[in-house]
Chains A and B, each alone.
Chain A
Amino acid sequence: MKNKLKVLRAEHNYTQEDLADIIGVSRQTINAIEKEKFDPSLPTAFRISKLFKMPIESIFYFEDA
C-alpha cells in the first residue's frame, strides 16, 4: 500500500517524533509506514486521517502495478 504520509508530515512541519507522539505510536512505526514497509492498523489510519483532516483513501491507496 502506498501513502502520502511523508509529504503531509512535511507540509505540517511535524517531525516523525511529533507525529508519533500525536498518533500514539513509536517513531519507528511512523518511519516504517512512510517507507511503505508496514501498513498501519485501521485505528492508526483513522487517527492520521483525523489529524490531517483528509479522508483515509486520499492518504493511503493502492497503486496498480
Chain B
Amino acid sequence: MSTLNYIKMKKERKKHRYQLAAWTWSWVATMALASFGPKYIWDDHTVLTVLAVSVNFANGILMLIANRNLFNNFDELERKIHLESLALTLGLAVVVGLTFTLLNHTGLIGFNADISSLVIFIGLTYLAGVVINTRRYS
C-alpha cells in the first residue's frame, strides 16, 4: 500500500467513525422516542408506537453496518485487539448473563435481572477489553 493509499485509508477511517457516531446517536435518540413517546407524546397510539419501534430497529441495523464498515477499515493489529475484546465480551456476557438470570430465578438476588444491566455489562466489558489489549500491544 502506498503512502497515498494510506492517507486515503485514514480519511476513510475518519468518515466511518463519524458515520458510526451519527448512527449511534440517532439510534439512542430513536430508542428514547420509542420508549417515552407512547406515554408522553402520542398517548399510546398503536400505529405511531409501531412506527417508532420500526424506525429504531432500522436505525439499529444501520448502526451495525456502520460498525462493520469501521471494523473492515481497521489494520491487522486493531482487528486483533477488537476481536480479542469481542471474544472476551461474548464469553462473559453468556456466563454472567446466565448466572445473573439463575440468581434471579432462585431468589438469591432481591432485584430483577434486567436486560439493561446486561447491556451495560457488555459495553463496559468491551471497553475494558479494548483498553487492556491496546496496552498489552503498546
Contact = CB atoms under 8 A, between A and B. Distances in A.
Instruction: Using C-beta atoms within 8 Å of the partner chain, give the interface range for chain B.
Output: 10 to 19
A23 B5 CA distance: 10
B11 to A, nearest CB: 13
B75 A37 contact: no
Contacts of B136: 37
B108 to A, nearest CB: 42
B77 A25 contact: yes
Interface residues of A, number: 17
Contact of B137 (A24, A38, A40, A44): A38
A54 to B, nearest CB: 19
A58 to B, nearest CB: 22
B76 A21 contact: no
5 contacts: A21-B7, A22-B2, A22-B3, A24-B1, A29-B76
